[in-house]
Amino acid sequence: MNRLLRTGRPLARGDAPSMTLPVLIVGSGALASFFAARLAATDASVTMLGGWPEGVAALQTRGVCLVDANGGERCFPVRATADPSSCRPASHALVLVKSWQTARAAEQLAACLAADGIALTLQNGWGNRETLQAQLGMARVAAGVTTLGATLLGPGRVRAGGDGPVALPPDERLTPLRDLLRLAGFETRASADVDGLLWSKVVINAAINPLTALLRVPNGELLTHPDARALMAEAALEAAAAGRVQGFTLTFDDPVLAAEDVARRTAANHSSMFQDMLRGAPTEIDAICGAVVEAGEQTGVLTPVNRTLWRLVRAAVNGDRLSVISNQTGTDTDHVSRVTKHENSHHTR
């Protein structure tokens, strides 16, 4: 089992650090907005670096707005920008973009992260830390894990989803950020085995997210359909096997029961991949099922279900793009298919 070194209770305001820690959040989507709202509620100085023009404009106009379960809404002031040079020098950065946006986030951080600063990724999927390290160096990047969820209701407006802790590596440079997270009401834990936590999350995501996206159902419905439930189990078993062969210690003994438990506890939730597909946006399938397939190829573990899910989600997203292009412009879809295939060849894991 994963070794937890410390559990951090939420801090009371009287426990707050004597100085407000400036925090840079890279991203303006659901999880970025959720963290920004919670941190800004403590009067922390929060800057959001985003590449979504509508999102940045909304954040600049009214701040970031957090909607509670009863429909109540509170907005908090943040500084929002699309210009990384205006964020210099950032001492602590939270990276909360989609995995397919990580390379761009790394380039942005290269322009604004202080020489002794640190960027913490809490993203979904596998490989984000390595992408950031390629640009920033190993010393300036740390990876954590969270099971928190959020739903973006519109530019700068977010509603909390699933609850859960934020696991951080035992790095002293993260202490100010950890304390601020606790002040904002987040439960923090220090873990000496972040890789095990990360791959455990990949296992759960591989089992749930692509199926909910392809079938367009909330998480819990996977448990009501025997075929979907069987596919979910096979995807979890493959991903867990690929992780264990790599030497990762998972946070559960039975990956099938673990995936089903998450689907049951988040029954009404729409997975982030489902939300992405509904918007016609790129998904994180490459960093989830694609990562499982890649690990299987490297270790000799067979991953046919994950490979099929990976290809189906990619095909579905590209099919939606072709349908929109064809309907709006009357473009020859065979020609667009050839162009899209060429584009995707540069993004295949």
pLDDT in tens, 61-118: 999 999 998 899 999 999 999 999 999 999 999 999 999 999 999 999 999 999 999 9
Q: Six-digit token pair at 9?
A: 């209770």
Residue in 38, 92, 140, 201 annotated catalytic: 201
Q: Which residue has the higher pLDDT, 13 or 131?
A: 131
Q: Binning pLDDT at 50, 70 and 90, where does residue 320 land?
A: low
The stretches of the chain forming alpha helices (DSSP H) are 30-40, 53-62, 102-110, 128-136, 175-183, 194-215, 226-245, 255-265, 272-279, 289-299, 304-329, 333-344
Question: Rounded to two decimals, what is the model's pTM?
Answer: 0.85
- What domains are defined for the chain? 4-192 (3.40.50.720), 195-344 (1.10.1040.10)
Q: pLDDT tens digits for 178-217?
A: 999 999 999 999 999 999 999 999 999 999 999 999 999 9
End-to-end Cα distance, the chain: 29
- The b-or-e profile of 15-41 (16+ CB within 10 A means b, else e) is ebeeeebbbbbbbbbbbbbbbbbbbbb
Q: pLDDT tens digits for 95-110?
A: 999 999 999 999 999 9
Q: Binning pLDDT at 50, 70 and 90, where does residue 162 land?
A: confident
- Please say if 201 is a catalytic residue: yes
